[in-house]
Amino acid sequence: MNETFVTNWKSQVKKGTLTFIILNVLKNSEYYGYELIEQIRKHTEIEIAEGTLYPLMNRLKTEELVDSKWVEQETGIPRKYYSLTEAGIETLSQMNIYWENLEKSIKKIIQ
Amino acid sequence: MKIEDIKFEQKASQRIYNDYMKRIKKATSSLSKINQDDIYMEFNSHIYESIQHKNKTNEIDSLLDIIEKLGIPEEVLKPLIADKKLEQATKTFNPVHVFKALILNFTNGVSYIFFFVLYLFLFGFVFLIFAKIFYPSLVGLHIKPDSYSVFILGIVNPESDLKKQTIEVLGNWFIPVMLLSIVLFYFLITLLLKLKKSINQKTLS
């Protein structure tokens, strides 16, 4: 087995699906950065380079798929909460349909 | 919103944290104050929340772990700064922001090199205005009168054959034409940048 090839392929898949995963995590609730990373880890076991999340969230914001707001905390350190916008919800539902179809096709090929 | 720094029990942890946050400030210094504060607060919040969720007893170990996972500020923030700078440049039309945005986005594709070359042309026009002031008879738009096939925008060597074969056509209009070209070129570049940005976004989605 070519382990390097598999490792590279896995990392490409993770990279390619990270946006999709983030949007799906945000589907049910709003999260702040650290919490979002924890959720991704919990659901997918993907360890993301934590610092890279923030540039990605900024891109999603520019795309108007997510929105963010600062919420003051008693600790004095505010949290920035991210949530899906209307456009984000619609885009995600399209992405989910595409993903399901892709999954079915891939399953057929694998069998 | 007021920026509150995290307080650590150990002096060494405080120094590591202060140093890291200083690097974030330095890395984002070219952005607007709002964007600088936003990035600073977001990383600050991340460090704070991570520490709260760590069970490690050693403060320094926890902090070093968190900082390592966040990554080197200058590297991790590079795409974020490039994006924000481009946003700022296309919103404000400020030449300094446009120039910085182009430099930061240099590695994001060949098209930005093209933009950079266009920008160099713009500086070329500025240079020619000054050159015209100092060498009025040599600088201009030189055209071969019979064919119109040869034209030179710039300085022509007074002893060259080209100088003898061509005539300068703009005369006193040279500086106004250059000024107009600068304005037109500048708006063209910024509008193309805006267009490029929206194409980028469409490709991403």
* Residue of A32, A50, A91 with shortest CB distance to B70: A50
Nearest CA in chain B to A73: B45
Contacts with B83 from chain A: Cβ below 8 Å: 55, 58-59, 62
Give the structural domain span for A53: 3-110
The candidate with the shortest Cα–Cα distance to A19, out of A96, A71, A104, is: A96
CA distances from A67 to A70, A83, B1, B72 (A): 11, 5, 18, 26
* Residue B52 near residue A28, CB atoms below 8 Å: no
Answer yes or no: do A80 and B201 touch at CB < 8 A. Answer: no
From the list B42, B76, B80, which residue is nearest A33 (CB)?
Answer: B42
**Which whole-number Å values give the CA distances from B160 to A36, A40, B132, B149, B166, in the listed order?**
69, 70, 18, 18, 10
How many other C-beta atoms lie within 10 A of the C-beta of residue B46?
24
Determine the distance in angstroms separating the CA of B67 from the nearest CA of chain A, rounded to an integer.
9
What does the alpha-carbon distance between residue B181 and residue B170 come to, in Å, rounded to a whole number? 13
DSSP codes joined into one string, B39-73: HHHHHHHHHHHHHHH---S-HHHHHHHHHHHH--H
C-alpha–C-alpha distance, residues B39 and B88, integer Å: 15
Distance CA A15, CA A13 (A): 5
Q: How close A22 gets to chain B, by Cα (Å)?
A: 14
C-alpha–C-alpha distance, residues A98 and A89, integer Å: 14
Distance, in Å, from the CA atom of A67 to the CA atom of A60, rounded to the nearest integer, reads 8
Chain B residues 46-105 within an 8 A CB cutoff of chain A: 46, 48-50, 53, 69-71, 73, 76-77, 79-80, 83-84, 87
Residue in chain A lying closest to B72 (CA): A51
Could you report the per-residue pLDDT of B156-200, keeping only the tens digit for each? 777 777 666 777 777 788 888 889 988 888 888 888 877 776 766
Which structure tokens are listed for B156?
């022509």
Q: Give the closest-approach CA distance of A105 to chain B in angstroms.
A: 22
What token pair was written down for A83? 């949530």
Q: Which of A34, A51, A65 sits opposite B71 (nearest CB)?
A: A51
Q: Does B1 touch chain A (CB under 8 A)?
A: yes
Q: Which residues of chain A neighbour B36 with C-beta distances below 8 Å?
A: none
Q: What percent of chain B has pLDDT over 90?
A: 28
User: In total, how many domains does chain A have?
Assistant: 1
Domain segments of chain B as ranges:
11-76, 108-204
Tens-place pLDDT, residues B91-148: 776 777 777 777 777 666 666 777 778 878 888 888 888 888 888 877 888 777 776 6
Say yes or no to pLDDT of B88 above 90: no
Q: Which residues of chain A carry a pLDDT beneath 50?
A: none
> Strand, helix or coil at A17?
helix
pLDDT tens by residue, B28-80? 998 889 999 999 999 999 999 999 988 767 889 999 999 999 999 999 898 88
Per-residue pLDDT at A89: 96
Work out the burial of residue B99: count CB atoms within 10 Å of its CB; fewer than 13 is exposed, 13-18 middle, 19 or more buried. Answer: middle
In this complex, the residue of A52, A58, A77 whose CB is nearest that of residue B44 is A77
